Amino acid sequence: MPDTNSTSGSTGASPAASMSSSFGYETVDPADKTQRVGDLFSSVASKYDIMNDAMSGGMHRLWKDRFVRRVKPQPGEATLDMAGGTGDVAFRMAARGAEVTVADINQDMLDVGIERAMARGIDDAEGGLSWSCQNAESLTYPARQYDAYTIVFGIRNVTHIDRALAEAYRVLKHGGRFFCMEFSTTSWPGFKQAYDAYSHRIMPKIGGVIAGDEDSYRYLAESIRRFPKPPQFEAMIQGAGFCQTKVEPILGGAVAIHSGWKL
């Protein structure tokens, strides 16, 4: 399967745990993880969208359509699409009239998104899109600026997830909504074993053939296994202050849409 992220921060973490972070199955220094994740996405940026299609059989497009239907972007709404990279989700929301800021820590990913917008004839000023290099853990935006915050297949790459969730809460207006779509582990018997085998054995090989980078896609598979299970992640979202949280599993939980409100 495609896309990004891993976890290091969690509610109730010990001081010792906060001094380390996971990079796939490795335990690394938090600063080292941030650098390595940045290098990884710079490496795969030019082939990122092709790889998403190859590894999901095109299903990621259906998942993103479903995600945007849940977000219900409205004309004129200010939306922050964090880890928005190549613009896949942002294009869908902007088409519904939302004013979308595409933010990503990796400028190479943003550059691909800007090129895609230009190829579609989308002018930033009139197309409802703007692009900004941002760290999800320390956004430069003022508080209570956005009506919606979205992050798709990105939060598991964040070094300290709790900080990113706190920032999402901070920049949302009262009544604002948080939506996240992320990979997890499926509970379907039979499919779980096939999914695990595909992720660990086949996905890195596809990455090597198409993107020339087997190691990056091995990390992405490993990061899915290290990400909190949906109930644990929902508890983290609640811990950041969000109310009326919800988890919508897809493929038995292999993918899940998480949501919450700032009330």
Q: Is 136 annotated as a binding residue?
A: yes
Q: Give me the domains of the chain, ranges plus CATH numbers.
A: 15-261 (3.40.50.150)
pTM of the shown model: 0.82
pLDDT tens digits along 69-103: 999 999 999 999 999 988 999 999 999 999 999 99
| Ligand-binding site membership of 27 (annotated) | no
Is 197 marked as a binding-site residue? no
pLDDT digits (tens, 9 = 90+) for 26-60: 565 666 767 776 676 776 676 677 777 777 778 88
* Cβ neighbours of residue 77 closer than 8 Å, sequence gap 6 or more: 97, 98, 99, 147, 148
The span from the CA of 71 to the CA of 48, in Å, is 24
147 is in an annotated binding site: no
Q: How far apart are CA 161 and CA 166, in angstroms?
A: 9
Q: How far apart are CA 259 and CA 256, in angstroms?
A: 10
Say if CB 1 and CB 56 are below 8 A apart: yes
